[in-house]
Amino acid sequence: MSLSAEKSFFISGPVGQLEAIWSPSDSNPARAAVICHPHPLHGGTMGNKVVTTLARTWRDLGISTLRFNFRGTGASGGVHDHGVGESDDLLAVLDWLQQQGVSQLDLAGFSFGSWVAASTVARLPAGLTLGRLVLVAPPVQYEGYAALNPPAGTLVFQGDEDEVVEAAAVQAWVASRQPVPELVSFAGAGHFFHGRLTELKAILQERLQG
């Protein structure tokens, strides 16, 4: 397993530069994981602890990772666009990855980021194969979430004491999908998985290796 140091840089996005952090793996250059951050109007950035925990999980398995700030967040250009433009931001990131030789994608998102990830799956560029879709605390109350049918192999992580996303609504959404995603429920965990990040990482690592 050969991992290079994290690289901070900018990707050309639809409405300006997108601030990003890239951790390439020399041993598996064709595969990468992209992690999308929570709602920027509520303080969400690529530095969020859930986001960095997810990135570290793939990185520790020898897989390249990329996390980035959506438009209007951190040093990224543009203004927040309620998930619509953010999907275009993600597609620009995926285009950059393909230019680096990536053909196999794992895609993850936390909260708002899970909406962007899940809603963009149907628009993946040709030549990019999706391995895993990982949704953490997906805000299924968003208009449009009911219409999403995530692909086979999708993982959903949800705290049953989430103060932002109603756990029962997530359970109902998962049960109504076809195919049904795997739901991992964390008893006593809130929205930000305080005190449970090590457990989150261990379970995700187990699923990715399975």
Segment 93-132, tens digit of pLDDT: 999 999 999 999 999 999 999 999 999 999 999 999 999 9
pLDDT digits (tens, 9 = 90+) for 19-59: 999 999 988 999 999 999 999 999 999 999 999 999 999 99
Nearest 5°: CA angle at 32, between 190 and 157? 20
DSSP reduced 3-state for 129: strand
Q: Which CATH topology does 7-209 take? A: Rossmann fold (3.40.50)
pLDDT at 63 > cutoff 80: yes
Max distance between CA atoms of the chain, in angstroms, equals 42
Residue 1 banded pLDDT, cuts 50, 70, 90: very low
DSSP 183: E
> Does the predicted model carry a pTM greater than 0.95?
yes
DSSP 142: S
Distance CA 78, CA 91 (A): 16
Domains of the chain by residue range: 7-209
Distances (CA, A) of 172 to 36, 194, 202: 23, 24, 25
Q: What is the mean pLDDT of the chain?
A: 96
